[in-house]
Structure 1
Amino acid sequence: MLKASNWILGALMGATVITSAWAHPEAAHVEAHNVWARASVPGQQASGAFMQLTAREPLRLVGVETPAAASGEIHEMKMEGDVMRMRQIEGLDLPQGQVVELKPGGYHLMFQQLKAPLQDGSEVPVTLVFTDAKGETSRLHLQVPVKRLAPQPAHGAAAAPGHGAAHNH
């Protein structure tokens, strides 16, 4: 019986990693889907991470932490006249039940002063930091897959869930 229950648990955990970013049900305030980080090359000092976030209550993304870089930041890109500009922002509001997309050319996470190149096919640990309306802090821990190019949704599928494990404290 123990072997069967271990197999079932392993299968369920594997299915969770394949089908969506995962959060502990007792503390899940945010779901992350389509999670990925852009691979870098030797000497490159920065890279970005992208995903779709859906909050179960109004939250604000206020920080990003990763051991892969000296610092993590929340950035936005937007047109100012004829020039696309990127800048760090203090936080990003996540309205309850609405998908907020972090994507190339828009809001995204930046990893500054990479400690080593982000290798295609590897994973990088990332922690997102949120505050709620009461000012309480929570964290979402992700294992973010590193890709050379943005993952493409399955043919005919709407936004397919990302590959990566997550849990929230």
Structure 2
Amino acid sequence: MVLSTADLLREYGASATSIDRVLAHSGAPRGSVYYHFPGGRAQLIEEAVALAGDFIADMIDTAMRADDAVEAVEAFFELWRDLLVNSDFRAGCPIVAVAVETNDDAPQLVQSTAVVFTRWQEALAGLFVRHGLAAERSKRLATFIIAAVEGAVIMSRAERSLAPLEAAAGEIRDLLTHALREDKR
């Protein structure tokens, strides 16, 4: 059910991700929702945000072991290229889907997304520090990259084209290459 919720968030957003839709997508029996998720829809969405956040964080953690920080970031873009193309530009980031909606009935959901974004930023900043950038510059670059990727994914979905994602990937590749080269001087 949590995986189904994350998939539905990617395509439909938080408002349209209802318990009924999750049950239909997952094939789970109705009784299992409140047994496993006594907090109902809000708990299900919160757990889906955590799961999706962990997936990307694990990917970043794996990239941390890379010898080349630029290639590691390129793998992040590759994930989004594949997801956009394979979903016919319907799927975006479930974290963004929850973050941009007003969740007056469950304000903890926005807090959950902030935790995920912070985790991603810290992981990327750690990668850049490991490859020789100063800590403050690494934090700024990590924030910029997460913002650029997420914005490019949104634009790619709207345009039904990889052009915005490719433009962001190219600029970030050039920026990182230059930043890493400058720091080694």
TM-score > 0.5, shorter chain as reference:
no
Q: Which structure's residues are more often helix, by fraction? A: 2
Q: Highest CA radius of gyration, 1 or 2?
A: 2
Q: Which structure's residues are more often strand, by fraction? A: 1
